[in-house]
Structure 1
Amino acid sequence: MKIALIAEHTTPLAAHRGEATCGDSVHIASLSRQLAKLGHRVTVYARKSTEDPAGRSRMGRGVHADILPAGPERPLHAEEEAEHTGAFAAALASAFEEDAPDVVHALGWTSGLAALSAVRGAERGDAPPIVQTFHSLNVAEQRSGLPERPDRARMEAAIAGRADAVAAGSADLRFELARMGLPRHQVAVVPFGVDTDHFSVEGGAATEPWSHRREERTRLITVARPASGGAERVVEALTRLPGAELLVVAASSPAEPALDEDLRRLELLVKEAGVEGRVRLTGPVERKELPRLLRSADIYVSADAYDPYGGAVLEAMACGLPVVAKASGGTTGAVLDRTTGLLLRHARPDALARAVRSLMSEPTIRSAQGIAAADRARSRFTWQRVAAETERIYRSALPAEDGLPLASGDDAH
């Protein structure tokens, strides 16, 4: 099967090179690689937004990235993402004329717009089916206090209604799509994945940049964008946890270049809170180094207002860490409350501190939850399983493969 993965605002080559990068890039690189292992030919189409050259690049056996010029060659902020989708769709249509796919898979709403536009001109019998994946919806983000974007919300509903098949990153998103009028049975839940060969309980643990008072403190770790506010809430929670120390690993975003400024602001908060002796801050870490940092900690904490992927949580679980996190986005499906960690309705510092304190005071429970977390990551969230479930959706959307159900059996917790 020739598969076109549409990821307009992703930098697919970044994760392929092993760089610290965003969830979209990790998703594209990992999914495409596993689809190719299943025997498919995959081309990833993205807008040129970095120094990576335009045109086709090989990402591995059976996988290529096609970087299309469309608009400014820089990452776009959320409010301007749709401004150049028309140009991207035109370039995509030209690419399809040269190399027609069997199925088109769009990730994110602007990619869905581009995909629908690119196949619009094809003859009715020749148009490939369009599969749409949503890892986030604006209506869901609004419920977590993020800004309302009415135009985007309307477009997401329209795209979902026009796609031949829809995949949601969590059961919560499937519920939101049902509220938009899309029948639940027409939406498959396919979560984010984790590389359990790379992120695992096996292997060494980092000794730096922790302090040398390991035996006296419980070690907390969080991977967060400093601009998101999640790291700040964890730092504030630490003021209520005198027996803990914290490592904050900064996660970068292509559209947020002022990372140094955000880190300086976080450093100032650490000093003002009086916990500078118990907090270590790092910039983005290469993915090959991240497992050693995760295995060096005792508890993973996530306090972002909304986490669409839950990727960092899954990586921590795969390394054997119990998780304390706000129940939002992909995290709701990843973490089993009181089995692989603790889910919170709110990420206020006092609530975070209470949850972490309960695990600090019960090392046996903490250990059991870490074991269960690693087992759940291996059994439910491998990229191999994600790719197999995605392939099943493709086949259900192809006219010649009628009869296969959309549901991926992924509601089991």
Structure 2
Amino acid sequence: MKIALISEHATPIPAHRGEPTDAESLHLCNLARNLARLGHRVTVHTRCTDPRISGRTRMGRGVVVEPVTAGPRRPLRADEHAEHTAAFARGLTDRLRSDLPDVVHAFGWSSGLAVLAATRDLACGLPVVQTFHSLGVSEQRVGLPAPPQRLRLEAALAQHAGAVLVNSADQRFELARMGVPRSRVHVVPFGVDVDHFTVEGAAHGPWQRRRPTADRQLRVIAVTRLDPLGGADALIDMMVRVPDGELLVVGDPHPDHLAIDPNVQRLERRAKEAGVNDRVTLTGAVNRRELPRLLRSADVFVSTTAYDPYGGAVLEAMSCGLPVVARAVGSVTGAMLDGTTGVLLRSARPGALARELRHLAADGTQRTAYGIAGADRAASRFKWPRVAAETERIYERLLSTASRLPLAAGDHA
């Protein structure tokens, strides 16, 4: 099968190189690789964001990245994508025409809009799959800006696509409220590289594994954005109530830019005012090759983000054998099993978080049980080969349905 993966706003190249990157890049990279391992030929069409990379890039056997020049060759802000979607669609039409795939898979609403325009121009009835990792209505609910036209377009694109993929049951419910038939929407979760994020392995340098004892602290780790939506403020407030703990917060700026980042400055002030600055470390962004070592150095993983449509950080922690205490939002609720792989909380109140951490600090058996169950669940349900196989089955079902449909009059020509 020839598969075209379309993403206007993300590229799999950083994830392919092991650099700090976003969840969309990770999804594109791992899905493409694992579809190729299933015997398919995969082309990822993405907007060119790097002036040094304008031609095709191979990502291993069976996977090629084809950048499309549309607008400035730099990453765009969220509010800039729409103005370059038409140019991206024109370039995409040319690419698809020169190498017609069997199925087209769009990621995100702006990519879906470009695919809609391109497939109409081609007039060849290409089967279209649409993935929504995040929905505008969900982002509005937590205070993120989402233009009204995006909400309307997401509903229209979902109606047009042959199949719609989402990460969680919550997103499926939101689409049902928008009038999209449930039979067309499939929950295919975000995945985790269980060969990279493992229980066994070293934690070198300053991240040597620690265990809480009479003279050692409980090491708590969070991988999150540092703006208020990421919940790091609540984590710092929580540490006041965990006097025998230390906190590592991983995320956002390059370590060289920590001193000038406004979110880092805000959080450092908060930690100093709370009197816990000697027990809180903001590491900045961490290379993905090193992230498993950092996770394995901790005793508990905590997630307090107000919005998590992927659940990737929680899955990576589980895969490394960490017990998880998390706010029950988005895809986190599907990733975890409350009381089995960790604890799900309705809110990120510092008191509730601290209470669970103190309990886990005192109960090594419970920590171990959560960690074992989490690693087993990550490996059995969320590894990328399974995610790719589930996606492949949706492609095959869509192609089978399309082959049984009668041809329109214009298709006989």
1:324 maps to which residue?
Answer: 325
Q: 1:83 to 1:356 in 2, by over 3 A?
A: farther
2:195 maps to which residue?
Answer: 197
Residue by residue over 1:268-324, the C-alpha shift from the partner in whole angstroms, topping out at 9 and shown as x without a partner, is 222222112111221211111111111111110111110111111100000001111
Residue by residue over 1:160-181, the C-alpha shift from the partner in whole angstroms, topping out at 9 and shown as x without a partner, is 0100111111111111111111
1:310 maps to which residue?
Answer: 311
Residue 12 of structure 1, CA deviation: 1.5
Q: 1:72 to 1:281 in 2, by over 3 A?
A: same
Q: 1:49 to 1:325 in 2, by over 3 A?
A: same
Residue 68 of structure 1, CA deviation: 1.0
Residues in 2 aligned to 1:257 and 1:166: alpha-carbon distance in whole angstroms: 39
SS in 2 for 1:208: helix
Aligned AA (1:155): L
Asked which structure has the greater CA Rg, the reply is: 2
**Equivalent residues in 2 for 1:331-346, closer than 5 Å:** 331-346=332-347
1:136 aligns with 2:137: no
Residues in 2 aligned to 1:22 and 1:112: alpha-carbon distance in whole angstroms: 19
Residues in 2 aligned to 1:179 and 1:164: alpha-carbon distance in whole angstroms: 18
1:287 aligns with 2:288: yes
Residue 239 of structure 1, CA deviation: 1.4
Residue 358 of structure 1, CA deviation: 2.9
Residues in 1 aligned to 2:244 and 2:381: alpha-carbon distance in whole angstroms: 34
Residues in 2 aligned to 1:283 and 1:179: alpha-carbon distance in whole angstroms: 39
Aligned AA (2:219): R
Residues in 2 aligned to 1:120 and 1:64: alpha-carbon distance in whole angstroms: 24
Aligned AA (1:294): L
SS in 2 for 1:45: strand
1:173 maps to which residue?
Answer: 171
Residues in 2 aligned to 1:154 and 1:355: alpha-carbon distance in whole angstroms: 41
Residues in 1 aligned to 2:210 and 2:63: alpha-carbon distance in whole angstroms: 45
- Range with greater deviation from structure 2 (322-331 or 343-352): 343-352
CA contact (8 A) 1:396 1:402 kept: no
CA contact (8 A) 1:3 1:41 kept: yes
Q: 1:193 to 1:168 in 2, by over 3 A?
A: same
2:14 maps to which residue?
Answer: 14
1:3 maps to which residue?
Answer: 3
Q: How many residues are treated as equivalent by the alignment? A: 399
2:99 maps to which residue?
Answer: 99
TM-score normalized by structure 1? 0.91
TM-score normalized by structure 2? 0.91
Residue 49 of structure 1, CA deviation: 1.8
- Range with greater deviation from structure 2 (377-386 or 101-110): 101-110
Listed as ranges, the gaps of 5+ residues in structure 2 are 405-413
1:407 maps to which residue?
Answer: none
Residues in 2 aligned to 1:59 and 1:371: alpha-carbon distance in whole angstroms: 33
Residue 234 of structure 1, CA deviation: 1.0
1:66 maps to which residue?
Answer: 66
Residues in 1 aligned to 2:387 and 2:210: alpha-carbon distance in whole angstroms: 40
Residue 222 of structure 1, CA deviation: 0.6
Residues in 2 aligned to 1:377 and 1:290: alpha-carbon distance in whole angstroms: 17
CA contact (8 A) 2:6 2:105 kept: yes
Residues in 2 aligned to 1:30 and 1:257: alpha-carbon distance in whole angstroms: 30
Residue 20 of structure 1, CA deviation: 0.9
Residues in 2 aligned to 1:354 and 1:90: alpha-carbon distance in whole angstroms: 55
CA contact (8 A) 2:253 2:261 kept: no
Residue 129 of structure 1, CA deviation: 0.6
2:247 maps to which residue?
Answer: 246
Kindly, what percent of the aligned residue pairs are identical? 59
Residue by residue over 1:4-59, the C-alpha shift from the partner in whole angstroms, topping out at 9 and shown as x without a partner, is 00111112111000101100011111110000000001011111123441121111
Aligned AA (1:364): T
**Equivalent residues in 2 for 1:19-58, closer than 5 Å:** 19-58=19-58
Residues in 1 aligned to 2:183 and 2:269: alpha-carbon distance in whole angstroms: 50
1:386 maps to which residue?
Answer: 387
Q: 1:26 to 1:179 in 2, by over 3 A?
A: same
Aligned AA (2:373): A
**Equivalent residues in 2 for 1:251-262, closer than 5 Å:** 251=252, 260-262=261-263
Listed as ranges, the gaps of 5+ residues in structure 1 are 404-413
- Range with greater deviation from structure 2 (265-274 or 307-316): 265-274
Residues in 2 aligned to 1:90 and 1:396: alpha-carbon distance in whole angstroms: 29
Residues in 2 aligned to 1:113 and 1:373: alpha-carbon distance in whole angstroms: 38
Residues in 1 aligned to 2:273 and 2:208: alpha-carbon distance in whole angstroms: 20
SS in 1 for 2:56: strand
Aligned AA (1:246): L
SS in 2 for 1:389: helix
RMSD, aligned CA: 2.2
Residue 357 of structure 1, CA deviation: 2.6
2:411 maps to which residue?
Answer: none
Q: 1:10 to 1:60 in 2, by over 3 A?
A: same
Aligned AA (1:19): E
